[in-house]
Amino acid sequence: EPSGLTNDADIRVAKSIVDYIFRWMGKKFLTTDQQEEAGILSPEVKARLAQAYSALEGKQTVEYDAPPPGQTALFNAWEDAVECARCGGRMVRTGSCYTCRDCGTNTGCS
């Protein structure tokens, strides 16, 4: 099943041909609200998000307590992750290798 980068500016990565087709159909036929909910970043959705973020810039930010030590270790595992060549998912470091959590492919280590 082919996956990877596309030439469509609004759909940069597709995990399969079916994934690309349904995202393209969503971009063409869904309303802006439905596109935003589905995570399809059409120009209209991007403009809406930019407007929402610019409205938040002037507001006071809320400070949070530091996360527990175990939680930061979880995020550090994703820090240098690469994209899986087989399915397009994010790979996790396992020792000196990377392993895909979606399809199980690794970078050649055993």
* pLDDT tens sequence across 53-100: 777 666 666 666 665 665 555 555 555 667 777 777 778 777 778 888
Which residues fall within 8 angstroms of residue 109, CB to CB, at 6 or more apart? 94, 95, 96, 97
CA–CA dist 21, 14 (Å, integer): 9
Percent of the chain with pLDDT over 90: 5
Give the global pTM: 0.45
Position 78: which residue type?
Answer: W
CA–CA dist 99, 107 (Å, integer): 7
Q: Can you give the residue ranges of every domain in the chain? A: 4-56, 69-100
Q: Quick check: 11 and 23 in contact, CB under 8 A? A: yes
* pLDDT tens sequence across 22-66: 989 998 999 988 888 877 778 888 888 888 777 766 666 666 666
